[in-house]
Chains A and B, each alone.
Chain A
Amino acid sequence: AQSVTQLDSQVPVFEEAPVELRCNYSSSVSVYLFWYVQYPNQGLQLLLKYLSGSTLVKSINGFEAEFNKSQTSFHLRKPSVHISDTAEYFCAVMRGSGGSNYKLTFGKGTLLTVNP
């Protein structure tokens, strides 16, 4: 079975500051990794995903995450945040191959609050 640990439940930062949201996973098999964002009273939106290939993946709004197999991590970073980035961010893992690969296992989430 897979599990995900998001080390920080809340991360407050000032506008234009860099931010890193940490995610570690546990799995005995290969995995796919995802970051989702949830704004208040809304569903989740896919931010970016790692399936294979380049370990650095980027989103269209400036976020990036790097898959580190040796450290079993998939941290999310942004060099300069905006007020509009305030939301809850969820890291998720899915088994990479074989059976049961239709289920996402989510971390508990990190609430990013960007202050002016």
Chain B
Amino acid sequence: KAGVTQTPRYLIKTRGQQVTLSCSPISGHRSVSWYQQTPGQGLQFLFEYFSETQRNKGNFPGRFSGRQFSNSRSEMNVSTLELGDSALYLCASSLDGPAQDGYTFGSGTRLTVV
């Protein structure tokens, strides 16, 4: 079966712009989580969605937002980009949270803010 698909793979944006990243989970998976990975901070949890509802949110400013659609596809949006937002953004999906079956991660979207 197809894995978790993230688009685009690479993105270059200018400070102050906004960006939308997309994640298509494995078919049948209803939980989608987003993580930010940077060399300095490592992997940090952004938010988790299940059946279009945000169940948990990490400690990121309000510029970071997300949503999930009825087909479980998810998007995350970052407004007013800052240089520090440059990172690999990873999406992960599961049937219902990581405990049941672990997470399946996508290959990520590498965002560079210049």
A residues apposed to B, CB below 8 Å = 32, 34, 36, 41-46, 49, 51, 90, 92, 94, 96, 100-109
Contact A43 B106 (CB under 8 A): yes
A32–B102 Cα distance when bound, in Å, is 10
A39–B90 Cα distance when bound, in Å, is 14
Chain A residue, CB-CB nearest to B45: A103
Chain B residue, CB-CB nearest to A108: B42
B residues apposed to A, CB below 8 Å = 4, 31, 33, 35, 42-45, 48, 50, 55-56, 58, 90, 92, 97-99, 102-108
Quick one: given A102-B33, A103-B56, are A42 and B45 in contact (CB under 8 Å)? no
Contact B31 A102 (CB under 8 A): yes
Contact B42 A109 (CB under 8 A): yes
A46–B93 Cα distance when bound, in Å, is 12
Contact A102 B108 (CB under 8 A): no
Chain A residue, CB-CB nearest to B40: A108
A43 to chain B, nearest CB (A): 3
Contact B105 A43 (CB under 8 A): yes
Would you list 13 pairs from A and B whose C-beta atoms are within 8 A, ordered by A residue?
A34-B102, A36-B105, A43-B105, A43-B108, A94-B98, A102-B33, A102-B50, A102-B56, A102-B97, A102-B98, A103-B45, A104-B98, A109-B43
